[in-house]
């Protein structure tokens, strides 16, 4: 297959807009979704048209907020009463904030969130910044399609595994699509940091996909173990040859452009996932992982194979 790879520099301003809007949706989930380990309850769902809070509740009232990139709108749905908010260039994050919360309030849902962005270099409050933002629908769709592609590959890897896992979802702090594999070993975070001590309190391996930034322009798959491993874990067993481990970051990386010419892009990505998992479970000392790969007693699906 030929994959349309959009670099960060091609759509940085539009990506920034979507990242800020995702912060609003994520913070709404933070206040309303049932709490789960590793902040799993606040992750957003990637959809056909964009991303969503999924079904939420405030007492007995159900609601959902969808960012519909395909049709350049945000949909606020309260008990089937749907209000459309236009996504367009020149609107500020304050505009989006007020429209979303105003729509909810008009329908009886009154919420308060912390307007300070999380895990971003940008520090302006979401309900105060009036700077005009950019939204290019075509570029945004290219980015969304990469998220969808990555999620499909991640699901192909983790779906059949007989282990405790968090399925792939959009993390709005770092704006990446990631999954977690956990082995049931508690590992408290050594510092008193609000986000980290809840995110990192068990041994895990995170498989993520990130769209890049000013330093790394190319969309990239990454694999992050916890506890963090700041040593050289490069090995001939790591596949494909374009993959590598960065001991300064404690992560494996595989950028999309480096494998774009692969005979089978999916096979190459799955090779990266499986080889890095094998190396990391040995390094972490996880026992009993062979059972994760016991085949499912189900008829094979032909359509996606």
Note the pLDDT tens digit of each residue in 192-238: 999 999 999 999 999 999 999 999 999 999 999 999 999 999 999 99
**Residue ranges in the chain modelled with pLDDT below 50:** none
End-to-end Cα, the chain, rounded Å = 14
Strand partners, 210: 176, 220
DSSP H or E segment with residue 226: strand 220-226
Q: How far apart are CA 42 and CA 25, in angstroms?
A: 9
Which residues, other chains included, contact 58 with Cβ-Cβ below 8 Å and sequence gap of 6+? 32, 109, 111
State the angle between helix axes of 8-32 and 137-158 in degrees (0 to 180), rounded to the nearest 10.
60
Residue 305: the pLDDT is 64
Residue 1: the pLDDT is 59
Evaluate whether 111 touches 31 at the Cβ level (below 8 Å).
yes
Condensed to tens digits (0 to 9), the pLDDT of residues 76-100 reads 999 999 999 999 999 999 999 999 9
Q: What is the CA radius of gyration of the chain?
A: 20
Evaluate whether 115 touches 126 at the Cβ level (below 8 Å).
yes
Helix, strand or coil, per DSSP, at residue 57: strand
HSE toward the beta carbon, residue 222, CA cutoff 13 A: 21
Residue 291: the pLDDT is 97
Closest CA to 2 of 220, 221, 269, 266: 266
Cβ atoms within 10 Å, residue 132: 11
Residue 62: the pLDDT is 98
Residue 181: the pLDDT is 98
Residue 163: the pLDDT is 98
The answer, yes or no, to whether the previous bond of 277 is cis (omega within 30 of 0) is no
Closest CA to 191 of 181, 201, 183, 182: 201
Q: Concatenate the DSSP letters of all residues of 141-208 into one string.
A: HHHHHHHHHHHHHHHHHHTT--SEEEEEEEETTTTEEEEEEEEEEE---SS--HHHHHHSSEEEEEEE
Please state the separation of Cα 255 from the chain's center in Å.
16
Please state the separation of Cα 204 from the chain's center in Å.
16
* The pTM of the whole model exceeds 0.95: yes
């Amino acid at each position: 297959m030929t994959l349309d790879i959009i670099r960060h520099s091609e759509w940085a301003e539009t990506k920034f807009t979507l990242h800020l809007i995702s912060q609003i949706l994520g913070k709404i989930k933070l206040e309303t979704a049932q709490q789960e380990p590793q902040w799993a309850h606040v992750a957003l769902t990637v959809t056909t048209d964009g991303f969503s809070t999924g079904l939420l509740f405030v007492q007995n009232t159900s609601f959902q907020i969808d960012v519909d990139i395909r049709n350049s709108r945000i949909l606020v749905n309260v008990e089937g009463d749907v209000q459309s908010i236009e996504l367009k260039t020149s609107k500020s994050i304050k505009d989006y904030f007020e429209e979303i919360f105003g729509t909810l309030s008009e329908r009886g849902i009154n919420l308060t969130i912390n307007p300070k962005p999380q895990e971003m270099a940008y520090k302006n409050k979401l309900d105060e910044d009036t700077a005009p933002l950019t939204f290019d629908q075509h570029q945004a769709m290219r980015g969304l399609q990469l998220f969808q592609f990555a999620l499909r590959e991640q699901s192909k890897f983790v779906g059949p595994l007989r282990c405790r896992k968090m399925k792939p979802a959009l993390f709005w702090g770092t704006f990446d699509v990631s999954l977690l594999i956990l082995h049931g070993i508690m590992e408290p975070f050594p510092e008193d940091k609000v986000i980290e001590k809840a995110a990192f309190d068990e041994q895990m391996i995170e498989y993520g996909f990130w769209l890049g930034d000013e330093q790394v322009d190319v969309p990239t798959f990454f694999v992050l173990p916890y506890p963090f491993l700041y040593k050289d874990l490069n090995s001939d067993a790591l596949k494909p040859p374009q993959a590598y481990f960065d001991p300064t970051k404690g992560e494996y990386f595989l950028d999309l452009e480096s494998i774009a010419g692969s005979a089978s892009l999916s096979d190459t990505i799955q090779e990266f996932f499986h080889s890095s998992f094998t190396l990391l479970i040995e390094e972490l000392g996880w026992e009993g992982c062979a059972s994760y790969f016991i085949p499912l007693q189900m008829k094979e699906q032909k359509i996606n194979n």
